[in-house]
Amino acid sequence: MSAGLNPPTARRPGLDIYTLFLLSLIFNLWGVTVGWNSLNLPGGEFRQAQTAISTYYIQQADSYELAYPTPVLGKPWSIPMEFPLYQWSVAALSSSTGLELTRAGRLVGLVCFYLTLPAFYILVAQFGLGRMQRLVVLGMILTCPLYVFYARAFLIETMALMFSAWFLVAFIRLGETHKWRWLVLANIAGWGAGLVKVTTFMLFLIPAGLIALIWLWRARPTRENGGWAEFIRVVVRIAGATTLPFVATVWWIKFADGIKRVNPSARFLQSDNLAGFNFGTMQNRFSADTLSQHWHHLAENLVWPPVLLLGLGLALTVSLRWWRPILLCAGCYILVLVLFPILYALHDYYAVANGVFLLVALGIALGGLLDTRLSRGWVVGIILAVYALQAGLYYRGFYQDQRGQSAGGSGLTAALQRVTNDNDILVIAGDDWSSITPYYARRRALMLRNGMQDQTEYLREAIASLAGERVGAVVLQGFLREHNQLRERLLAAFDMDLRAVFTWQEAVVYLPVETRIPSIRLLRQDTPSGVELAGDAVIPAPGALGGEWRLMTDLSEAEQAIFAGMNPRPVGFYSSFGPTLERHDGVTWFNAHPTTRLRFHLPAGIHTLHTRVGIINAAFAGDFAPGDVPTDGVAIELQAREGGLEPRVLYQRLLDPVQNSDDRDAQLIEVTFTLSEATDIDLYFGPGPNGRDTRDWIWLRGPLVFD
């Protein structure tokens, strides 16, 4: 793209061409606002949700760190892909203006798209096109369905396109004028392009490289130009415009890889591991499936095939004088499909980077009509018809996806948001590492990648990465909902109730034992669309206090009286057989038969637990029938649940009167501990080392007090 490739065309004033451009702009402005207030993310939702969830948590933390959060693969929550300039911009705009996050993301992307248009207006001028022809080219871009749909997506694509286009403008102008301002712009835009999306930047380096080769050839040392001086100056200008962007890009890739390396679930995203996926192989580069996908994206999203044929016909006839720029632009469009076959075949939004080159080629061919002897009416009519056909392609395709109104998400994400807390973690298997469910539910997640469900070491590391976090739900989707071994492992690891609470389509959801009953009540009151309570999602009848986690606020006054000897009273409890009281020698005994868990909420400060426990004689003394066995002891633990997956153990002991005669009398428990903040404290009674609760007849003998 260098001046002088073709002589300038004659410039004829044309209100009609201005009108056509205005109509194309109005169409684009209308199209990008279709469904503007909807909070769903149609088109490339996997990638949009990934960008959106990063932006959401950047905004929530009000932290603009390089190791920004993308909390879908467990801890550490950062798995940086692109440099987060787009995410920072969206978060800052939303926070400073109060604009809802999705709309802020759309607005930033759209502004970047419109800032790209002047760059291409300048670039096509390098081919010698007049003002009217350049407007025809821009009209092709504005009416393209892809740029209506994805210009306002929650994606980095248009920001990368904007930086790349302005880099190319600055690079060309630097070579023509040798002015410092173009060197500065080339570096700024090059940094932005390389950091935001290096694959887009690489595409624009193709024409930049061709231009650099032309400059070097023209400046090659000869007798006429005086030797090496000019050649060296050209080399310095090229290096000055590209070295720092290149260094910045390499630095970011290495930095991002270092962060991903720390996360056991994210190591597959390191650049070395993605090389085969990014660049493909000779086998898949020209496979029938790959070529079919490329054609689908072109014919459905970029250009209606009859328009493509018309452009080809014009390029070979009335616009033949422009064959060089047409061939160059078409070549750039095709070459990137060869360089990144899988990326462009799988992701239609990737065409935001290279589709513009095809549209420029067609726009140049269409603009060639302005130099023919056809009447102005015919020329305007043909251009208008092409724009209208492109608009029709948008209406038949992307418009149907875009026009719907949605609050965002699904019945599954609405239910998960309702039954979990803001800081809870979702563990999801069967949806690969998609950010869709975590984003709409506004929850961090550990997504267990597809194909890794039987990898013991991977599961161990992934589960261990959540140490210190509270898991609010386990979700099994698709074929993994029937994976019994995985289900059992996850439910045990995260202390989930073994009974499913609800289903949604092919997803089944399990919740912690303590939140199961309150969650069932919430979902019964207001059931999100498509959510069905599981068959065993029943609420125990009044008086049936065993086998379910119960909240004190859900009990009757008579039921709460069972805990009258405790100060403070617990906020919730679980008892396998139900809590009961007995009186012995004027002392009230509270039945703590395993498994019993009493949860108290205590303020920050120093506390001491006072209570007595004992196992009655019949549990270990006397004659036992054949096959009957005495107790193997009761495990007692005092745990601080400070928002962690693994509670902090404040006190533990095994009360075993069979092996230890001292344990046959009532034992005094006094435990002093310090809490840095208000915390839930569990007093837990569980089976002995053999896992049996046979004859584990343990009682709290007297009051239980925290002071």
pLDDT, tens digit (0-9, with 9 covering 90-100), for 666-705: 999 999 999 999 999 999 999 888 888 888 899 999 999 9
Burial 554-580 (b: 16+ CB within 10 A, else e): bbeeeeeebbebbeebbebbbbeebbe
Do 381 and 449 lie in one domain? The reply is no
Residue that has been written with the tokens 């066995």 in this structure: 629
pLDDT for res 8: 42
Q: Is residue 626 part of a domain?
A: yes
Could you tell me the maximum CA-CA distance found in the chain, to the nearest angstrom? 118
Q: Where are the alpha helices (DSSP H) in 544-664?
A: 557-560
d(CA 40, CA 437): 12
Parent domain of 183: 15-32+117-149+157-394
Do 335 and 435 lie in one domain? The reply is no
Q: Is residue 94 part of a domain?
A: no
Order of strands, edge to edge, in the sheet holding 679-687? Answer: 550-551, 572-575, 596-602, 679-687, 634-641, 648-655
Last residue of a domain, one of 394, 422, 457: 394
Q: Is residue 324 part of a domain?
A: yes
Q: Which two tokens stand for residue 26?
A: 């109005």
Q: Is residue 338 part of a domain?
A: yes
Model confidence pLDDT, tens digit, residues 191-215: 999 999 999 999 999 999 999 999 9
Do 349 and 448 lie in one domain? The reply is no
Model confidence pLDDT, tens digit, residues 544-566: 788 788 889 888 898 999 999 99
Do 270 and 298 lie in one domain? The reply is yes
- Residue 437 host element (H or E): helix 436-441
Residue 4 pLDDT level (bands cut at 50, 70, 90)? very low
The mean pLDDT value for 481-494 works out to 89
pTM: 0.83
Residue pair 630/624 in contact (Cβ under 8 Å)? The answer is yes
Do 210 and 324 lie in one domain? The reply is yes
Residue pair 119/168 in contact (Cβ under 8 Å)? The answer is yes
Last residue of a domain, one of 473, 500, 533: 533
DSSP secondary-structure letter at 300?
I
Q: Is residue 539 part of a domain?
A: no
Higher pLDDT, 371 or 192: 192
The mean pLDDT value for 410-434 works out to 95
Do 370 and 486 lie in one domain? The reply is no
Last residue of a domain, one of 346, 361, 394: 394
Asked if residue 96 has pLDDT above 60, the reply is: yes
Do 518 and 617 lie in one domain? The reply is no
Q: Which two tokens stand for residue 539?
A: 């609420």
Do 607 and 522 lie in one domain? The reply is no
At 641, which CATH number? Answer: 2.60.120.260
Do 525 and 554 lie in one domain? The reply is no
Cα–Cα distance list, 704 to 66, 293, 591, 636, 666 (Å): 50, 69, 13, 14, 14
Q: Is residue 339 part of a domain?
A: yes
Share of the chain above pLDDT 70, in %: 96
Do 220 and 264 lie in one domain? The reply is yes
Mean pLDDT rounded to a whole number for the chain: 91
- Residue 475 host element (H or E): strand 471-477
Do 524 and 578 lie in one domain? The reply is no
Q: Is residue 356 part of a domain?
A: yes
d(CA 640, CA 631): 27
Q: Is residue 542 part of a domain?
A: no
Indicate the number of domains in the chain: 3
Sign of CA pseudo-dihedral 641, 647, 650, 655:
positive
Q: List CB contacts of 120: < 8 A, sequence separation 6 or more.
A: 137, 138, 141, 165, 356, 360
Asked if residue 297 has pLDDT above 90, the reply is: yes
Considering only CA atoms, which of 164, 25, 38 is closest in space to residue 106?
A: 38
Do 188 and 319 lie in one domain? The reply is yes
